[in-house]
C-alpha cells in the first residue's frame, strides 16, 4: 500500500498534473492540502474517472483538504476532536479531514501558518497543534494497535537541517522553539516521522520567489507521522522532487510512504 501527501496549492489549477501523477505513481491513497475550493468546486469526477473515491472539505477559496483513495473511504470525519476555530466570529476552518482507507486511519492536515511571531495566528497554530496532540493521545489510548497516519503540510521545520539556511529564518515562524515543541509534542504522543530516515537532508517545499528551487533553497515542512503499529509497516519513503519541476508546479513536492 502506497500513501502520499501533497500540498497542491489549488487543485483546480493543478488537476491535470494531479491526475497524471496519480496514474504514473501507483498511489493508493493521496491526502491533499490547500485545495482552495468549496466542496461543490472540487474536481471529484476527474479522480472517479481513474478509479478513486474522494472525501473533501472546503469552505472557500482558502485552505481545503481532501483524501483521494482507490482502497475505499470509510468513516469520514471533518475536523478532529477539540480542533480550535479561527476568525470573527470564530469558525472551524477546512484544515483537517480523516477517513479509513484500506484499514489505515488517514488524516489530511493543513496546519495554520502562524504568519509572524507577533501575530495572533501563531497562538492559534500552537493551540491547533496542541489539540492535535491531545486527540492523537486519546486515539492511541483507546486502541494502542490503531494504524493512524497524520499527514500533510505542518508549516513547521522541526530541525535546523529542515531549512536551507537557519540565518535566513531568524525571527521567523516555522522554526521558532514553541512551534518545534508543539510538533514534537505530537511525536511524543506516539507518532513517528517515518519519512526522515529514508530522505536525509531532503526538502519538501521551495518558495516560488528568488529561484529558490533551482538554488536548492527549500524547507522540509510536509510530514507523515505514523502510530507505532503503522510505523512498523513502513518499507520505504521518498519525496518526489521531480514533481516540483516544470510549468504549473505546486511549491510543494509529494511525499510518499510505502507500507508492507
The residues near 218 (Cβ < 8 Å, ≥ 6 apart) are: 163, 164, 203, 204, 205, 206, 212
Q: Kindly report, residue by residue over 117-162, the tens digit of the pLDDT.
A: 999 999 999 999 999 999 999 999 999 999 999 999 999 999 999 9
Q: What percent of the chain has pLDDT over 70?
A: 100
> Which 3 state secondary structure label does DSSP give 162?
helix
Distances (CA, A) of 202 to 169, 184, 197, 240, 251: 18, 19, 10, 10, 15
Q: Kindly report, residue by residue over 116-129, the tens digit of the pLDDT.
A: 999 999 999 999 99
Question: How is residue 195 written as a grid cell?
Answer: 519519512
Q: What is the pLDDT of residue 76?
A: 98
Whether CATH 2.120.10.80 fits 2-259:
no
Question: How is residue 228 written as a grid cell?
Answer: 507505532
Cα–Cα distance, 159 to 96 (Å, whole number): 24
Q: What is the 8-class DSSP label of residue 160?
A: G
Cα–Cα distance, 95 to 109 (Å, whole number): 6
Q: What is the pLDDT of residue 60?
A: 92
Find cell 522553539 and name the residue: 177
**Of residues 115, 255, 108, 111, the one with CA closest to residue 195:** 255
Q: Report whether 87 contacts 77 (CB < 8 A).
A: no
Q: Kindly report, residue by residue over 71-109, the tens digit of the pLDDT.
A: 999 999 999 999 999 999 999 999 999 999 999 999 999
Amino acid at each position: 500500500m502506497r500513501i502520499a501527501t501533497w500540498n497542491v496549492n489549488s487543485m483546480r489549477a493543478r488537476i491535470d498534473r494531479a491526475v497524471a501523477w496519480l496514474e504514473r505513481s501507483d498511489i493508493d491513497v493521496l491526502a491533499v492540502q490547500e485545495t482552495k475550493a468549496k466542496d461543490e468546486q472540487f474536481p471529484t469526477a476527474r479522480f472517479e474517472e481513474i478509479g478513486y473515491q474522494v472525501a473533501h472539505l472546503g469552505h472557500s477559496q482558502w485552505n481545503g483538504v481532501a483524501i483521494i483513495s482507490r482502497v475505499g473511504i470509510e468513516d469520514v470525519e471533518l475536523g478532529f476532536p477539540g480542533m480550535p476555530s479561527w476568525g470573527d466570529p470564530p469558525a472551524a476552518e477546512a484544515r483537517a479531514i480523516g477517513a479509513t482507507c484500506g484499514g489505515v486511519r488517514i488524516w489530511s492536515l493543513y496546519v495554520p501558518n502562524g504568519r509572524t511571531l507577533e501575530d495572533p495566528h501563531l497562538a492559534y497554530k500552537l493551540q491547533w497543534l496542541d489539540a492535535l496532540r491531545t486527540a492523537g493521545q486519546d486515539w492511541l489510548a483507546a486502541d494502542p494497535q490503531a494504524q493512524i497516519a497524520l499527514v500533510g503540510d505542518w508549516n513547521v521545520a522541526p530541525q535546523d537541517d529542515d531549512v536551507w539556511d537557519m540565518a535566513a529564518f531568524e525571527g521567523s515562524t516555522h522554526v521558532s522553539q514553541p512551534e518545534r515543541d508543539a510538533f514534537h509534542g505530537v511525536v511524543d504522543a506516539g507518532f513517528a516521522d517515518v519519512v526522515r530516515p529514508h530522505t536525509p537532508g531532503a526538502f519538501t517545499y521551495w518558495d516560488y520567489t528568488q529561484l529558490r528551487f533551482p538554488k536548492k533553497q527549500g524547507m522540509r515542512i510536509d510530514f507523515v507521522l505514523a502510530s507505532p503499529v503503522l510505523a512498523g509497516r513502513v518499507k520505504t519513503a521518498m519525496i518526489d522532487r521531480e514533481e516540483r519541476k516544470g510549468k504549473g508546479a505546486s511549491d510543494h513536492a509529494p511525499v510518499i510512504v510505502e507500507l508492507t
